[in-house]
Each structure stands twice: as C-alpha cells, then as structure tokens.
A and B are shown apart, each in its own frame.
Chain A
Amino acid sequence: AQSVTQLGSHVSVSEGALVLLRCNYSSSVPPYLFWYVQYPNQGLQLLLKYTSAATLVKGINGFEAEFKKSETSFHLTKPSAHMSDAAEYFCAVSDETGGGNKLTFGTGTQLKVEL
C-alpha cells in the first residue's frame, strides 16, 4: 500500500521566513501526491497536486512543492510566510491498492507563524 510520512508534527516560523514542510512517500508505482490545508474548524482545501507532469508544482497562496523521485520526497515550500498561513497541512498519496481509489494521509504538520 502507498503511504506518506510527514516529518515534524509542529513547525514554527517567523512571518516573512521560508516555510518548509516535509513529506516522504512510499509507493510501488508512480504516485499521485497532494498537499491539503486545514484551517481551524474547517474542511480540507487542496493546495496543489503532482500527477506525473512537471516535477515542480505550483499551488494556491504562493505554495509550491517539488517531486523528487530519487529522494521519494514531495516537500511543500513557500518563500515568505504570512500570518494567514497558520494551519494544519496534510500530505496525501492516491492509493489504488485493494480496489477503488482512496487518499492516504500523513499525520499532518501544524504550522505556526510568529511575528
């Protein structure tokens, strides 16, 4: 089965600093990979996705992620953090094992942005 591992359950950055949220995947086939954001008491919003086209994927709100097969990674970055970026971020992989299709999520990374 496909899986993702998010390193760091909590990340704290200063406003204006680089945001780096780490995600490594485990997949026996070329994966579809996703980053979702969850603001407090809300649902999940798709930030960006990798579907085997360009390895550098640009998403909403200035976020981007790079698919690196050699490192089995799909880290999320943003050059300059804003207070409004404070949220929970989930990496996910599309998993088709066992029939059907499902998203398998990582355990999430809580991003805190400080003044």
Chain B
Amino acid sequence: DTAVSQTPKYLVTQMGNDKSIKCEQNLGHDTMYWYKQDSKKFLKIMFSYNNKELIINETVPNRFSPKSPDKAHLNLHINSLELGDSAVYFCASSPVLRSSGGYTFGSGTRLTVV
C-alpha cells in the first residue's frame, strides 16, 4: 500500500488549459503539503494544510488552488497553465503541524506545458 500517492504521474498539456493533480495519504497524518521542484531540482513549498485548514500559502499565483476535502486528501488545481508551470509537483504529509518526524513524500507528478 503506497503511503502517499499522487495521480497522474505524468501530465502533458497545452498552455491555457486547466488541470488537476490528486494526492491521497493513508498514514493518518494531519498535515499535507504541495512542493514544486523546478528544472534545477530546487524544491519549494507551495501550500500546507492541517486537518483541511490552509496553513501556508507561499506566494503562489492564484491560478493555483489547493483543495482538501478531508485530511487524507489534498488536490491541486491549476488554471490557465503557463510554460513556466512545467515542473515536478510533490505531495507530502507529516504526522502533526509542527513535526520533527520529517515528511513522507509522494513519487511526484511531472507536469509539462507545451
């Protein structure tokens, strides 16, 4: 059983389209995150949710809208996709809001905008 699963694994789409990435964790964790890894492999946090409540929104364009229907799911919807949105998006979860335990990451969604 995969602990943090993301779908789809690969996503190729045209500029201007709207797309969603889904994430689910079966670890019973309270906090979930979206990270973006750019072409130079730099990882930067985008959002975090704790028990369905938005905690961190890290200066991300408002074309990106996260949604957490319950604490096991955190989806990412992107409107009007741009070339610069091409990246690998990672979902992660941690046991509590302030955690020394580290995060568990999904395997990533590689988004390519053409």
* Alpha-carbon gap, A23 to B17, bound state (A): 40
With contacts A42-B108, A43-B90, A90-B43 taken as known, whether A103 is within 8 angstroms of B55 at the C-beta atoms is no
B42/A34 in contact, CB under 8 A: no
- Which listed residue (B33, B48, B107) contacts A42, Cβ 8 A? B107
Say whether A64 faces chain B, with CB atoms less than 8 Å apart.
no
B105/A101 in contact, CB under 8 A: no
Say whether B61 faces chain A, with CB atoms less than 8 Å apart.
no
Say whether B50 faces chain A, with CB atoms less than 8 Å apart.
yes
State the interface size on chain B (CB cutoff 8 A).
29
B97/A100 in contact, CB under 8 A: yes
A44/B90 in contact, CB under 8 A: yes
A94/B97 in contact, CB under 8 A: no
Tell me the number of A-to-B contacts counted with CB atoms below 8 Å.
Answer: 63
Chain A residues with CB under 8 A of B58: 102
B108/A101 in contact, CB under 8 A: no
- Which listed residue (A41, A101, A104) contacts B97, Cβ 8 A? A101
Query: In chain A between 90 and 108, which residues have their CB closer than 8 angstroms to a CB of chain B?
Result: 90, 94, 96, 98-105, 107-108
Say whether A82 faces chain B, with CB atoms less than 8 Å apart.
no
Chain B residues with CB under 8 A of A104: 45
